[in-house]
Amino acid sequence: MITIEQMTKVYTMGEIEVHALRGVDLTINSGEFIAIMGPSGSGKSTLMNMIGCLDTPTSGRYALDGIEVASLNDNDLSAVRARKLGFVFQQYMLLPRQSALANVEMPMLYRGIETKERARRAQVALELVGMGNRLDHRPNELSGGQQQRVAIARALAGSPSVILADEPTGALDSTTSEEIMHMLQQLNREQNLTIIIVTHESDIAAYADRIVTIRDGVVTTDRKNEVSHV
Amino acid sequence: MSNQPVRRVLEPVSDTGRNGLDYRELIKVSLDSLLANRLRTFLTMLGIIIGVASVVSLMTLGNGASEAITGQFSALGTNVLTIFNSRPNRGPGQSGNIAPLTMSDYKAIERIKLPIVGPVPQFSANATVAAPAADKSAGILGTTADYAKVQSVTMATGSFFTDANVQGASQVVVLGSSLKTYLFGSGEAVGETVRINSLACRVIGVMASKGGGGFGSVDDQALVPITLAHTRLFAARTSDGNLRVTTISLSVIKAEDIEFTQERIQMTLRDLRKLNGDGSEDDFNIINQASFLSSLSTITTLLTTFLAAIAGISLLVGGIGIMNIMLVSVTERTKEIGLRRAVGAQSRDILLQFMIEAVVLSLLGGFIGVVLGSILPIVLTVTGTFNAPVTLNSVVISLSVSLATGLFFGIWPARNAANLNPIQALRHE
């Protein structure tokens, strides 16, 4: 459950103040599959960083599962990220010399989950994304789509409240993009995962159940997506 | 959304609530990344390896050398007192119109009955020593049979002259090892006759080499009974009819008696020379080899430290090498750092990961350096060329210096890594 009220973010670059967010209101319930859209410079990346607890707003309120994130210090933000969030990046961001299993286990290292449990959850997560037979493969032995599946397994292994995917198909061809989006959709429906994707492509956003458009730092449209792909 | 087939993964995680890595995991993460780039890891360590190896070998060889030097001097006898004819502040040698050291000084010391070996009078002068095959101008040392005991003489062949030889002023001579080699080569000398200032003397012994030697090596000298030197070889009489001696030496039986003995002799000689009445300075000088030895070892220790300090500079350079590579590594792995931060690593985790990498590099390099640096001293010691045992001291010092190097030069890159902004680090190309 995410509650954002009147969130603003101002960056100071030299003498220029950049108003990246100018008062965003947004509520995301658990189990939702939502796409945040907007052109570059709209503030969608800033909003994603805020939701991802990578940064704190200049003013306004952000509550994630009842935790008031806006007032947390750096260490507390790390602890919230470790437990509440799973990240999926455009460039997969896998550690190149580590196996798929080790990559999926990595985030759990930072929250005191014991070794056996870590390995078990990593394996289950990899099976869930269809990579159960590639546990020992290194990223350079996997295709782009497979790497992104490993990255998704990494995001969900710790059972976060929210999976935050930043242009998850940006580096993939259209067939693989479809596979990945179908998988995210399936994970959302079957596992009741809350998924937020940030994208500028409307056919990728079309997989989500709700599409929020942001422009010039404010939410301009927020609608149910009636014709989502099946 | 109620009939989910797989709910396993979504069950909440029972974590310990602890944030950040424990040490075992931190070390594993650090080792993984060092192993990921073995060649670079090795090249980074090379500076430390060379630095530590040179510190260990120079310290060890330096210690060995200084022990060898002081050892040679203690072989000459640390309990030995030598009395010279001079004022203390002028150094050895005749100077001014002072009363020369004579046999009566020697007899006065002998009469005190101190717990000593000796005293032994020594009269030295130069003369030509001629053998059938060669001749040489050499130092002639006239002395008594006790000389062999006081100076711990060991004979290569033959024997030292006896009290009877001394009383009878026998025409016998004992040669130093170098002088013997000069005169007779590798041939037998004992039983041969040499002429000292034309006086025929029979060679009765050759001394083993003593090496080193504080004041003109005895290896180059010919030793004769002092009576022979006084009566037949040299003009040794003073104006008042006494027989001159150059030095008087003696060795105390117990080292702790050395101060007391020195004082007694000083008193006796001052009395004899009537210096007490007018409070004059001593006109003789008593040298104690132990104090000479201690100043010598101060010098050699200083030298060893100096050598080690020079080697330490290469250790410093090695440390800068580590810092350099760690800085590059932080830049190269900015994305990895961003990823780790995004998934929940605290900045402390990143700091420790890079610190541990630097420390592992320097400690491992230190170990390899100790092993390499020990090879030369161990080979020299085992082959008997030179006794330079590797001391625990040098190992501990160089390992702790390399550890400190790792910590010191690792901290800056590690802080850079820890202070990276996760958002910017993730975007880094």
pLDDT of residue B295: 76
- Cross-chain CB nearest to A95 (options B6, B22, B336): B336
* Residue numbers in B near A157 (CB within 8 A): 9
The pLDDT, as a whole number, for residue A228 is 59
Among the partner-chain residues B1, B12, B344, the one whose CB lies closest to the CB of A192 is: B1
d(CA B363, CA B299) in angstroms, rounded, equals: 32
Q: Is any Cβ of chain B less than 8 angstroms from the Cβ of A106?
A: yes
How far apart are the C-alpha atoms of A19 and B298, rounded to whole Å? 72
Of B7, B11, B21, the CB nearest to A109: B21
Residue B48's Cα: distance from chain center in Å? 26
**pLDDT band at residue B2 under the 50/70/90 scheme:** very low
- Return phi, psi of residue A211, to 5°: -125, 125
Choose the weakest-confidence range: A74-83, B7-16, B134-143: B7-16
**B4 vs A contacts (CB less than 8 Å):** 190-192
Tell me the one-letter amino acid at A213.
Answer: T
| pLDDT(B142) > 70 | yes
Name the residue among B97, B101, B102 with its Cα closest to residue B243.
B102
| pLDDT bracket for residue B54 (50, 70, 90) | confident
Query: Which CATH number does the domain A31-41+74-224 belong to among 3.20.20.70, 1.10.760.10, 3.30.470.20, 3.40.50.300?
Result: 3.40.50.300
Q: Find, in chain A, the residue whose alpha carbon is nearest to that of B426.
A: A93
The verdict on B343 touching A (C-beta cutoff 8 Å) is yes
**Each residue of A57-73: b (16+ CB within 10 Å) or e?**
beebebebeebebbebe
Distance CA B137, CA B148 (A): 23
Tell me the mean pLDDT in the region B4-19. Answer: 59
pLDDT tops 50 at residue B193: yes
Average pLDDT, chain A: 92
pLDDT at B3 over 60: no
| Nearest-by-Cβ selection for B5 from A82, A159, A190 | A190
- Residues 140-199 on A with a CB inside 8 Å of B are 154, 156-159, 189-193
- Cβ proximity of B68 and B236 under 8 Å: no
> 3-state class of B113 per DSSP?
coil
Predicted local distance difference test score (pLDDT) of residue B165:
81
Out of B25, B29, B335, name the one closest to residue A93 (CB). Answer: B335
ipTM for this prediction? 0.94
**Lowest pLDDT segment from A31-40, A99-108, B80-89, B328-337:** B80-89
Nearest chain A residue to B429 by CA: give it: A91
Nearest CA in chain B to A102: B29
pLDDT over threshold 50, residue B6: no
Residue type, B137: S
CA distance B143 to A50: 100
Q: What is the pLDDT of residue A164?
A: 95
| pLDDT (tens digit per residue) in B232-282 | 777 777 777 788 888 888 887 776 777 778 788 778 877 777 776 666 677
Of B34-43, B123-132, B154-163, B213-222, the one with minimum mean pLDDT is B213-222
Read off the pLDDT of residues B354-396 as tens digits, 9 standing for 90 and up. Answer: 899 888 888 999 999 999 988 888 888 888 777 777 888 778 8
Distance of alpha carbon B286 from the chain centroid: 26
| Mean residue pLDDT across chain B | 80
Residue A140 has pLDDT above 80, yes or no: yes
Residue B32 contacts A, CB cutoff 8 Å: yes
**Which of A109, A120, A183 to substitute to test the interface with B, most B CBs within 10 Å?**
A109
Q: Which tops the pLDDT comparison, A151 or B296? A: A151
- Tell me which residue in A83, A108, A157 faces B9 most closely, judged by beta carbons: A157
pLDDT of residue B87: 53
Q: Which residue has the higher pLDDT, B279 or B25?
A: B25
Tokens of A58: 């200049």
pLDDT at B14 over 70: no
Q: At what angle do helices B334-342 and B347-382 cross, to 10 degrees?
A: 130
Question: Rounded distance, CA A118 to CA A157, Å?
Answer: 9
User: Residue B214 pLDDT more than 80?
Assistant: no
Chain A residues touching residue B345 (CB < 8 angstroms):
78, 82, 110
Prior bond of B119 cis (ω within 30°): yes
φ, ψ of residue A214 in degrees (nearest 5): -125, 140
What SS3 class is residue B274?
Answer: coil
Which distant-in-sequence residues (6+ apart) come within 8 Å of A126 by Cβ? A100, A101, A104, A132, A134, A135, A150, A153
Helix (H, G, I), strand (E, B) or coil at B379: helix
Task: Answer yes or no: is pLDDT of A63 > 60.
Answer: yes
Smallest Cα distance from B45 to chain A, Å: 22
Check if the beta carbon of residue B4 is closer than 8 Å to that of residue A192: yes
Residue A147 pLDDT > 60: yes
Q: Is the pLDDT of residue B95 over 60?
A: no
Q: Between chains, do A54 and B349 touch, taking CB under 8 Å as contact?
A: no
3-state secondary structure chain A: CEEEEEEEEEEEECCEEEEEEEEEEEEECCCCEEEEECCCCCCHHHHHHHHCCCCCCCEEEEEECCEEHHHCCHHHHHHHHHHHEEEECCCCCCCCCCCHHHHHHHHHHCCCCCHHHHHHHHHHHHHHCCCCCCCCCCHHHCCHHHHHHHHHHHHHCCCCCEEEEECCCCCCCHHHHHHHHHHHHHHHHHHCCEEEEEECCHHHHCCCCEEEEEECCEEEEEEECCCCCC
Contact indicator for B108, B158 with CB cutoff of 8 Å: no
pLDDT level of residue A154 (50, 70, 90 thresholds): very high
pLDDT range class, residue A227, cuts 50, 70, 90: low
Contact B339/A93, CB-based, under 8 Å?
yes
CA distance B374 to chain A (A): 36
Q: What tens digit of pLDDT does each residue of A202-226 get?
A: 999 999 999 999 999 999 999 998 7
Show which of residues 73-102 on chain A sit within 8 Å of chain B, judged by CB atoms. Answer: 74-75, 78-79, 81-83, 87, 89, 93, 95, 97-98
**Distance between CA atoms of B147 and B110, rounded to whole angstroms?**
14
pLDDT, position B277: 65
Q: Do residues A147 and A89 touch, judged by C-beta distance below 8 A?
A: no
Find residues 214-273 of chain B whose CB sits inside 8 Å of chain A. none
Mutate to test the interface with B, among A98, A191, A193 (most CBs of B within 10 A): A191
Q: How confident is the model at residue B429 (pLDDT cuts 50, 70, 90)?
A: confident
pLDDT at B96 over 70: no
Give the pLDDT score at A104: 95
For residue B372, give both structure tokens: 């390499």
Mean pLDDT of B75-100: 63
State the average pLDDT over residues A21-30: 94
Write down the pLDDT at residue B258.
75
Distance CA B175, CA B160 (A): 10
